[in-house]
Amino acid sequence: MSDVPIFAHEPWILPARGRVAMWSLIVAESAIFSLFVVAYIYYMGRDQFGPTPSVLDRPILNTVCLLSSSLTIWIAERAIEQGRMRRFAIFWAITILLGLKFLIGTITEFRTLINRDGLTIDANLFGTTFYSLVGLHATHVLVGLVGLSLIMAFTLFGKVNRSHAERIQVFSMYWHFVDAVWVVVFTVVYIVGK
Report the C-alpha gap between 25 and 19 in whole angstroms.
10
Q: Site for other proteins (CB under 8 A): which residue of 1, 86, 157, 163? A: 1
Residue 138 CB, shortest distance to other proteins, in Å, is 14
Binding to other proteins (CB under 8 A) within 113-172 occurs at: 121-122, 124-125, 127-129, 131-132
Choose the stretch contacting other proteins; rule: CB under 8 A; options: 24-32, 80-88, 93-101, 168-176.
Answer: 24-32
Residue 83 CB, shortest distance to other proteins, in Å, is 25
Report the C-alpha gap between 188 and 194 in whole angstroms.
8
DSSP 41-100: HHTTT--SSS--GGGPPP-HHHHHHHHHHHHHHHHHHHHHHTT-HHHHHHHHHHHHHHHH
Specify the 3-state DSSP secondary structure of 116. helix
Give the total of residues touching other proteins (CB under 8 A).
Answer: 37
Binding of other proteins by 46 (CB under 8 A): yes
Binding of other proteins by 191 (CB under 8 A): no
